[in-house]
């Protein structure tokens, strides 16, 4: 009988277990894998071995395999931890799918809504990659929560747009005008590219693609693949209607307000460069957050805080001028979730000029002082 063979194997394994070398452990796991369809609940000896090997495999892909193959219950917390460590790999995503049981869903929601920003993002990434029906309500709740960082909500939007039901849910929210406005770019970009023709058409109506001088921009993935002219891109960057040089310096040319771009091609790849222009608020450069300052004597001012002590705060304004305010004069200071860099600047250039300008920025590899 088959089950007798299994028990013999299991006893063999148990004996082999006493002298645990890693080669032996591997062998045992191989043997265990062959047993995977057996019901270990009716076989205490085998269950003990499986749980022991599970313990030894913690934090490795084998852990996920054992939980899956033996349909083990109650390991959601460890599965979620594994998914958080590998949110973009297939084993991490599989761990997340296995973790989406009733108790697991609650732990996932806790991680997504918790104070640990890194864990929240990693959990959302794994959820977004899981393409799992049960993950969709959580992803939708992230999308709707304007208090969460835009980067996190963008990951959730991209995850929902991977499935038909998620795409439909996003479109319904957009139609009801219940999608936060700052997600328009990310939602449009993801939804206009879905593979269901009818849904794609609805998305293009709801989110017309950004235009450059009246011409529709190709999707991001196409833009990234297009070739551009560096010399013409430099001209586009510095011509007045683009306004870039009123806020950025390249090798000393332009006004010093936003980050210097002399070495930007080393810091950002092409896709990130496009995003920084098409959707500036999606990833705000550290130290360049927008602050709204209200003082006793002047109207409110929007700028970047370049230094602050107990006594005073210096706010740099677009145009490059810095003003120092006494702490006692400041009525309030509020950090805005949006970038000071305005969206839509590509509207002053043709799609090809945009490609040229990005090619130019991408060629700026060395930061010169």
Residues 94, 115: Cα–Cα separation, whole Å: 25
The answer to whether 345 contacts ligand HEC (rule: CB under 6 A) is yes
The answer to whether 264 contacts ligand HEC (rule: CB under 6 A) is yes
Interacting residue with ligand HEC among 53, 163, 276, 359 (CB under 6 A): 276
- Radius of gyration for the chain, computed over Cα atoms and rounded to the nearest angstrom: 27
Interacting residue with ligand HEC among 258, 303, 343, 351 (CB under 6 A): 258
The answer to whether 340 contacts ligand HEC (rule: CB under 6 A) is yes
Residues 253, 249: Cα–Cα separation, whole Å: 5
Exposed, middle or buried: residue 37 (CB in 10 Å: 0-12, 13-18, 19+)?
A: exposed
Residues 224, 77: Cα–Cα separation, whole Å: 39
The answer to whether 97 contacts ligand HEC (rule: CB under 6 A) is no
Residues contacting 93, CB < 8 A, separation 6+: 83, 87, 126, 129, 130
Residues 210, 357: Cα–Cα separation, whole Å: 17
Interacting residue with ligand HEC among 267, 301, 308, 337 (CB under 6 A): 267
Distances from the Cα of 31 to the Cα of 38, 39, 43, 68, 365, angstroms:
13, 15, 16, 16, 53
The answer to whether 159 contacts ligand HEC (rule: CB under 6 A) is no
Q: Which stretch binds ligand HEC (CB under 6 A): 38-46, 118-126, 214-222, 337-345?
A: 337-345
Site string for ligand HEC, 234-253 (x = CB under 6 A): ---x----xxx-xxx-----
Residues 125, 159: Cα–Cα separation, whole Å: 8
The answer to whether 288 contacts ligand HEC (rule: CB under 6 A) is yes
Closest CB 304 distance from ligand HEC, rounded Å: 6
Interacting residue with ligand HEC among 40, 62, 160, 277 (CB under 6 A): 277
- Rounded to the nearest angstrom, the gap between the alpha carbon of residue 183 and the centroid of all alpha carbons in its chain is 13
Closest CB 37 distance from ligand HEC, rounded Å: 52
Residues 130, 168: Cα–Cα separation, whole Å: 17
The answer to whether 262 contacts ligand HEC (rule: CB under 6 A) is no
Residues 38, 173: Cα–Cα separation, whole Å: 45
Closest CB 366 distance from ligand HEC, rounded Å: 15
The answer to whether 212 contacts ligand HEC (rule: CB under 6 A) is no
C-beta of 127 vs 247, nearer to ligand HEC: 247
Place of tokens 């047993």: 35
Closest CB 126 distance from ligand HEC, rounded Å: 26
Which residues sit at the interface with ligand HEC, rule CB under 6 A?
A: 237, 242-244, 246-248, 257-259, 261, 264, 267-268, 273, 276-277, 280, 284-285, 288, 318, 339-341, 345, 361
């Amino acid at each position: 009988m088959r089950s007798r063979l299994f028990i013999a194997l299991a006893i063999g394994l148990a004996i082999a277990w006493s002298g645990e070398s890693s080669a032996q452990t591997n062998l045992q796991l191989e043997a265990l894998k062959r047993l995977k369809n057996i019901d270990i609940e009716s076989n205490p000896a085998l269950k003990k071995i499986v749980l022991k090997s599970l313990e030894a495999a913690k934090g490795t892909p084998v852990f996920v395999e054992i939980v899956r193959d033996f349909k083990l219950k109650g390991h959601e917390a460890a599965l979620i931890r594994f998914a958080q460590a590998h949110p973009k790999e297939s084993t991490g995503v599989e761990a997340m799918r296995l973790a989406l049981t009733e108790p697991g869903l609650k732990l996932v929601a806790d991680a997504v809504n918790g104070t640990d920003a890194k864990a929240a993002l990693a959990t959302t990434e794994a959820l977004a990659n899981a393409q799992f029906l049960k993950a969709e309500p959580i992803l939708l709740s992230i999308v709707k929560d304007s208090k969460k960082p835009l980067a996190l909500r963008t990951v959730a939007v991209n995850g929902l747009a991977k499935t038909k039901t998620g795409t439909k849910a996003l479109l319904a929210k957009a139609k009801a005008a219940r999608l936060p406005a700052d997600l328009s770019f990310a939602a449009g970009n993801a939804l206009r590219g879905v593979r269901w023709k009818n849904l794609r058409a609805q998305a293009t109506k709801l989110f017309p693609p950004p235009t450059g001088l009246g011409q529709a921009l190709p999707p991001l993935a196409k833009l990234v693949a297009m070739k551009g002219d560096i010399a013409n891109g430099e001209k586009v960057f510095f011509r007045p209607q683009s306004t870039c040089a009123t806020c950025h310096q390249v090798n000393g040319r332009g006004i010093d307000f936003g980050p210097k771009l002399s070495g930007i091609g080393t810091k950002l790849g092409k896709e990130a460069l496009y995003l920084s222009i098409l959707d500036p608020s999606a990833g705000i450069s550290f130290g360049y957050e927008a602050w709204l300052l209200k003082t006793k004597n002047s109207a409110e001012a929007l700028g970047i805080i370049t230094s602050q002590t107990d006594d005073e705060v210096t706010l740099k304004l677009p145009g490059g001028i810095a003003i120092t305010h006494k702490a006692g004069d400041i009525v309030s200071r509020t950090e805005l979730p949006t970038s000071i860099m305005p969206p839509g600047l590509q509207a002053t250039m043709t799609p090809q000029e945009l490609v040229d300008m990005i090619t130019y920025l991408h060629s700026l590899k060395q930061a010169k002082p």
